[in-house]
A and B are shown apart, each in its own frame.
Chain A
């Protein structure tokens, strides 16, 4: 895959963990940003970006190419990743 999927997550969010586990189980390389662990300035910047992309402040958000998946949704992940 040209660009690795990017996961915006909260370090404590159980659904984010399920998404990470799903990607791990399918041996998908991805990048992850635990938004709650960022410093305040970076956090504001990332949250603004997420809100622009999704219209809300909900996690996880998975960016796969031009596709944005909000929440842990295995069917959407499978389709977008062709697994």
Chain B
């Protein structure tokens, strides 16, 4: 009997599971297609799990938001650096990159927050914080993928 391969990878940022692609192996760096987080693949008793190789660094959140914007086709505006400063401040004071415009420090408000991941930008033209903008309303493209 052949062993069934686990099919999903757990992302510790958006707390979702995404499809495991054939050929991926432990130690590989992949991007969560839901939130843009860079993950290092690990096989655990629970199946494939991504760990955060640059957890808590400024670079981690910069890469995540740029990647998320590229994945969704979103733009930024002239608030980008100020919102990033707010996210970095949240991490310093409250332990992770929660939305800087909200009071709550809960996993669903980890940036990009759950409402943003679920379509708020398309519905309202921007996210709650005015960080991610729909293509027709934002001004600044994320940088090209390194």
Contacts and interface: CB of A to CB of B under 8 A. Distances in A.
Contacts of B83: 14
Contacts of B101: 10, 12-15, 59
A10 B102 CA distance: 8
Contacts of B89: 11-12
A10 B93 contact: no
B21 to A, nearest CB: 36
Interface residues of A, number: 15
Contact of B79 (A10, A11, A14): A14
Nearest to B88: A12
A35 interface: yes
B103 A10 contact: yes
Nearest to B79: A14
Contacts of A14: 79, 82-83, 85-86, 100-101, 129
Interface residues of B, number: 16
A57 interface: yes
Contacts, number: 38
Interface string A49-83: 00000000101000000000000000000000000
Interface string A26-49: 000000000111000001000100
What 8 pairs between A and B have smallest CB-CB spacing?
Answer: A14-B82, A12-B100, A12-B86, A12-B89, A12-B90, A14-B86, A13-B101, A14-B83
20 contacts: A10-B101, A10-B102, A10-B103, A12-B89, A12-B100, A12-B101, A13-B86, A13-B101, A14-B83, A14-B85, A14-B100, A14-B101, A15-B130, A17-B82, A17-B86, A18-B82, A35-B103, A43-B103, A57-B103, A59-B101
Interface of A: 10-15, 17-18, 35-37, 43, 47, 57, 59
Interface of B: 79, 82-83, 85-87, 89-90, 93-94, 100-103, 129-130
